[in-house]
Structure formats: C-alpha cells, structure tokens
Homo-oligomer: A and B are copies of this chain.
Amino acid sequence: MPYPEEAEGFQVDGPNSFTQFHKRHFKLKPFGDYDVDIKIEACGICGSDVHTISGGWGEQKFPLCVGHEIVGRAIRVGPKVTLIKEGERVGVGAQSYSCGKCKQCRNDNETYCQVEPMDTYGSKWADSGIVSQGGYSSHVRTHEHWVFPIPDALETNSVAPMLCAGLTAYSPLVRNGAGPGKKVGIVGLGGIGHFGIMFAKALGAETWAISRSRAKEADALKLGADGYIATAEEGWEKEHLCSFDLIINCANSSEGFDLARYLSMMDVHGRWISVGLPEEEGQVIKAQNLISNGVLIGASHLGSRREMLDMLQLAADQGLKGWVEEIAIGEEGLKEAMLRMKKGDVHYRFTLTGYEKIFG
C-alpha cells in the first residue's frame, strides 16, 4: 500500500452552511521523523466540532474538516518514532502538537503549552502553512507524542469518544484528588459528563450526577452514580451544603445557571472545575460568593499523554466503554448528526463509522 500524500475528508465551508459537508482531498503536513500516519477507522463527534463549525467560538480557518476523537491503524511511522509500532491500533485526541521543551511540556502539562500548541484541526503549521484537518477523513498525520496505543480490550467505536470527551473528564478528576473518601459531583450528563460519572466511580469516589430533571437518572445510576440531584426541584442543594470535595462542571451552556447555589454545596477549599466552554458571556463572580467556604473555581483543558494512557488502561481494566450511537460517515450522516447535536439529542456520543466503505 502506498503512503498517503494527502487525505480525503468531509469539509465545511463556514458557519452559515455548517450542516453541508463536502468530500474533498487536502494536503497533509510534510512527513516528519517523529510522525505517524494513521488510517482512520472511527471518529467521535465532539461538542467542539459543532461549536467550531457553527461559529459559536468565533472565527475559524475554513474550509475545515473537524473531528478529534480518532481511532485507526498506524500505517507508517517516522524513523525516530519509538512510542508507536506500525500496524498498531491507535487513537488521536484534540491536540496534535506542542513544543515539547517548555516548562509545561516537561511537566505533564503539555496541553497547556503556550509556545507551539496545535489543535488536531484548525491550527496552522508554522513551517508549511498547512491548516490541520481532523478525523472526519481518511487519514491523519500526527507526532508520536499525540498518538496513543489502544488496549486490545477496548472496542474501536466505543473507545473513540474517550480520546477527547473521556480525557477531558478524567484529567480534572485525577488532578483534583477524586478517589476513595471523596464526594464528587458531575454537572451535565452529556458526552463529557457520562464519562465523568463513569471515571469518578471507577476511581473510587462517592459520585453524584447533577442534572436539571430526573430524565437521565436511570442512565446515571447505570453509569455508576451513587446519587442524583435534579436542579429543577426546590431546595435541591440543601441536603448537600458544604459537602462536595470536587464538582466537574460539564454543562455546555451557562444560561440560567445559579452558580452560587452550586458553590454552596462545596466543602471548604473544594474545587469547582469547568470543562465545557459555553458560548455565552460568562458569569459574574464576587469574592463574597467564594468566601464562605473558600471554594476554588477553575477550568481544565484536555489532559496529558500520561493521563491518556492511564485512562485507557483504567477503562480496559474495568471494562468501561463510552455509550455511543453509531452513525455512518457521509454527507447525510454528518448533517443528521450536527442537527441532533445542536438539540442535545444524543445518548451520549455519536461515533462515525463505515470509513472503509467511504474512503476505501
């Protein structure tokens, strides 16, 4: 099989036509010594994909092929690659490069690299000027640090969303001490949140799902939640005042969100960590809202290579898998997926399949 010079994938031309996908060829970056070429077999559909192509996060580099929950096969490895073997099943997440040398990169904080961070799609390579294209496509070319072997125990279609959504939930859990003896809440039961419940429980924490209505209660309990809080009910926070060590806020929107009530549930110096990036204007925070329990508010961005490997191993060891709906890649499937994502109508992630049929 000849090595790919370019990839073929589904691009969108701008926010006004974000449900119209066009199958096109585009150039890959020049192959480097540490690069791995991956023939894609499946890709999750992340909320970021929709925010990006529908204009919610501001200007982007169109035409653009999104997708950053990629699983495929390593079909070629550069001469200096040591982390990945040719033929191995691998994954790629939302980031595809960082400088590798700065303080952050040297301390397992490479997703916070400020020197040369590259997203898997929509970032411009400094040397070639090529804009990175994502996994709604036949191939990606990625530096080995950002390519992750997938343990055999995990299925391609259900592990795909772990590459972004899963890691986004996992990293703040382990960085903020989720484990035995800790009470952890997960706000928002969607793509990220369903992994949050699963991993918080797997790490040994007392795990609470926090959602608006009771509609997702049965799912939450099946995912491993020990308890469920429905914020549409009166006095929902009263039983939990000053008790949570950590809450991961996975909500996709901040509209109508009464942050002070959530924060009242935090134990002293508890942590409220947001991983969603709502499109709205943000929330007004007064020191007065934080002072009664000294709560810390933060945000978290993806997770390190080390955390990715740990997460995949934890999933393999405990038999954890994403709850996915499979949808065939193609103009029709992508359009349907985008329309349903906009409505939040998915339980709890789409995985694009049928790559062989479309790309050969």
**Partner-binding segment picked from A72-80, A196-204, A285-293:** A285-293
Contact yes or no, B297 A285, CB < 8 A: yes
**Partner-binding segment picked from A17-25, A298-306, A333-341:** A298-306
Selected from B109, B285, B292, the residue in CB contact (under 8 A) with A268 is B109
A281 CB to closest chain B CB, in angstroms? Answer: 6
A232 at the interface (CB under 8 A from B): no
Selected from B104, B291, B301, the residue in CB contact (under 8 A) with A301 is B291
A274 at the interface (CB under 8 A from B): yes
A174 at the interface (CB under 8 A from B): no
Contact yes or no, B268 A277, CB < 8 A: no
A95 CB to closest chain B CB, in angstroms? Answer: 13
* Chain B residues whose C-beta falls within 8 Å of the C-beta of A301 in the assembled complex: 291-292, 294
A124 at the interface (CB under 8 A from B): no
Chain B residue nearest to A299 in the complex (CB): B290
Task: Give residues of chain A (310-342) contacting chain B, Cβ–Cβ below 8 Å.
Answer: none
Chain B residue nearest to A242 in the complex (CB): B114
If A104-B268, A268-B109, A269-B175 touch, does A291 touch B285 (CB 8 Å cutoff)? Answer: no
Binding site for B on A (CB under 8 A): 103-104, 107, 109, 112, 114, 175, 241-242, 267-269, 271, 274-278, 281-301
A285 to B284, CA, bound (A): 6
* Chain B residues whose C-beta falls within 8 Å of the C-beta of A288 in the assembled complex: 277, 282, 299
* Chain B residues whose C-beta falls within 8 Å of the C-beta of A242 in the assembled complex: 103-104, 114
* Chain B residues whose C-beta falls within 8 Å of the C-beta of A114 in the assembled complex: 241-242, 292-293
A160 CB to closest chain B CB, in angstroms? Answer: 23
If A112-B292, A294-B112 touch, does A287 touch B268 (CB 8 Å cutoff)? Answer: no
Contact yes or no, A297 B298, CB < 8 A: yes
* Chain B residues whose C-beta falls within 8 Å of the C-beta of A268 in the assembled complex: 104, 107, 109, 112
What are 22 A-B contacts defined by CB distance under 8 Å?
A103-B267, A107-B268, A109-B269, A112-B268, A112-B292, A112-B294, A114-B293, A175-B269, A271-B296, A281-B284, A281-B286, A282-B288, A283-B286, A284-B284, A285-B297, A290-B298, A291-B300, A291-B301, A292-B301, A294-B298, A296-B297, A297-B297
Contact yes or no, B287 A294, CB < 8 A: no
Of listed A114, A241, A271, A294, residue having the most chain B CB within 10 A: A294
A217 CB to closest chain B CB, in angstroms? Answer: 26
If A112-B294, A294-B301 touch, does A287 touch B271 (CB 8 Å cutoff)? Answer: no
Contact yes or no, A283 B285, CB < 8 A: yes
A297 to B295, CA, bound (A): 8
Known: A114-B292, A291-B300, A292-B301. 8 other contacts (CB 8 A): A103-B242, A104-B242, A112-B268, A175-B269, A271-B296, A283-B284, A290-B297, A294-B298
